[in-house]
Amino acid sequence: MFLIRPIQQPDLDVLLQIAEESGPGFTSLPGDADFLASKIRQSVDTLGRSNAAPGPETYLFVLVDTDSGEIAGTCGITAAVGLDMPFYHYHVGTIVHSSRELGVYNEFKTLNLCNDYTGSSELCTLYMRPKYRRSGQGVLLSKARFLFMAEHASRFDDRVIAEMRGFTDEQHTNPFWEGLGRRFFSMDYDQADYLTGAGNKVFIAELMPKHSIYIHLLPEEAQAVIGKVHPNTEPACEMLKREGFRFENYIDIFDAGPTLAARQGNIRAINKSRRARVILDASPPPEGAKRHLVANTETTGFRCLMTALSPDRKSVRLTEEQANALSLKEGDEARLLKL
């Protein structure tokens, strides 16, 4: 069985391994043990607060293979970005140069440094370890966050964003960085990526150009990857689009990966989830049973799993093993999402 639960302090060593496995471009998990330990403490403390308002804290979760005890992946939600330090994007805009006298009219795409998503909640830190990528549990790892948000909506902003990891080649080189970022930062992509992931973002404001950047003046290789995702990120990107997320012309300032956005009420997994009463039932799912995510309604004790269930608007039938894994008993309420 696979189970989602909040991260705990003993998970630090595995989280550090995941940070190293994920490689360049996975900004939210820098390979810094002290920084990751502080992120875990922050998540544990925030979950322990009652009625927490949206703030800069990140809720971290892990996917556990209960048979082996191994951690298969991690995911997170930052309640509100940009409140403790600036949160930067490039907005892809349009500017027109024209002369009626000369009969010339030109439209140019531009990049403008901005903080437009300040205060938004962010889906972040989604990573499935290679060993488990064909386990079929990627849906659970990603969408369990929506059940947590649906149950605890006041902890999050109405606008939810997700930064998609930008394209890098086999040498871990990002053409956008080589064509633009390196010219202003004078450092390798890996170093800049590490610094921003570790929270040192002051240098961005100090070194980035303050005026519009004309995209057509960038190298063709850099232009080609604007809004393009890393191959490993394509499934997650498509899943979010099916959930109602859209590209609003904002990209990452380092790798040019797209940022997707949606309102909570427009996210399918949030508005289609519902509560149901738990019934213990040892019989196997009937023919025609559909995959569902099932979660309890807790914070610190949040648990979520994926199982096949028969349609029932008022109740959810779980085995004793499943109920125990979710810390539920007969008569309790669970939150369901049909997949």
Q: Residue 220 above 70 pLDDT?
A: yes
Is the CB of residue 124 less than 8 Å from the CB of residue 81?
Answer: no
Count of CB atoms situated within 10 Å of the CB of 264: 18
Q: Which neighbouring-strand residues pair with 257?
A: none
In the predicted model, what is the mean pLDDT of residues 289-317? Answer: 92
179 pLDDT band, cuts 50/70/90, is very high
The fraction of the chain above a pLDDT of 90, given in percent, is 69
**Pairing between β-strand 159-163 and β-strand 121-128 as defined by DSSP bridges:** parallel
Is the CB of residue 43 less than 8 Å from the CB of residue 28?
Answer: no
| Interior/surface letters 119-139, b for 16+ CB within 10 angstroms, e for the rest | bbbbbbbbbbbeebeebebbb
- Report the distance separating Cα 195 and Cα 224, nearest Å: 25
From the options 3.40.50.1820, 3.30.300.30, 3.40.50.180, 2.40.40.20, give the CATH code of 274-338.
2.40.40.20
- Report the distance separating Cα 101 and Cα 211, nearest Å: 28
Confidence at residue 27, expressed as pLDDT on a 0 to 100 scale: 60
- Report the distance separating Cα 29 and Cα 24, nearest Å: 10
Tell me the CATH class for 2-91+113-269.
alpha beta
- Report the distance separating Cα 89 and Cα 258, nearest Å: 10
Cβ neighbors of 245 (< 8 A, separation 6 or more) are: 160, 162, 260, 261, 262, 267
Confidence at residue 175, expressed as pLDDT on a 0 to 100 scale: 93
Confidence at residue 311, expressed as pLDDT on a 0 to 100 scale: 66
85 pLDDT band, cuts 50/70/90, is confident
The DSSP code sequence of 246-299 is EEEEEE-TTT--EEEEEEGGG-HHHHS-EEEEEEE--SPPPTT-EEEEEE-S-S
Confidence at residue 203, expressed as pLDDT on a 0 to 100 scale: 72
Confidence at residue 265, expressed as pLDDT on a 0 to 100 scale: 93
Confidence at residue 201, expressed as pLDDT on a 0 to 100 scale: 60
- Report the distance separating Cα 146 and Cα 73, nearest Å: 17
Own/partner pairs for 217-220, CB < 8 Å, 24+ apart? 218/176, 218/179, 218/180, 219/175, 219/178, 219/179
Count of residues for the chain? 339
- Report the distance separating Cα 223 and Cα 328, nearest Å: 52
The fraction of the chain above a pLDDT of 70, given in percent, is 95
Is 230 marked active-site?
yes
Tokens read off for 6: 């909040």
163 pLDDT band, cuts 50/70/90, is very high
Is the CB of residue 61 less than 8 Å from the CB of residue 4?
Answer: yes
Confidence at residue 232, expressed as pLDDT on a 0 to 100 scale: 82
171 pLDDT band, cuts 50/70/90, is confident
pTM score: 0.89
What does the mean pLDDT of the chain come to? Answer: 91
Can you give the C-alpha Rg of the chain in angstroms? 22
Q: Residue 199 above 90 pLDDT?
A: no
Please give the residue that has the higher pLDDT: either 137 or 191: 137
Tokens read off for 138: 């990627």
Domain parsing of the chain, residue ranges = 2-91+113-269, 274-338
Comparing 121-125, 268-272, 281-285, 322-326, which segment has the lowest mean pLDDT?
281-285
- Report the distance separating Cα 186 and Cα 184, nearest Å: 6
End-to-end Cα, the chain, rounded Å: 18
Out of 91, 97, 172, 230, the active site residue is 230
Q: Is the dihedral of CA 171, 24, 174, 130 positive or negative?
A: positive
Confidence at residue 13, expressed as pLDDT on a 0 to 100 scale: 94
Q: Residue 284 above 90 pLDDT?
A: no
198 pLDDT band, cuts 50/70/90, is low
Is the CB of residue 184 less than 8 Å from the CB of residue 207?
Answer: yes
Q: Cα 181 to the chain's mean position, in Å?
A: 24
pLDDT in tens, 88-134: 999 999 999 998 999 999 999 999 999 999 999 999 999 999 999 88
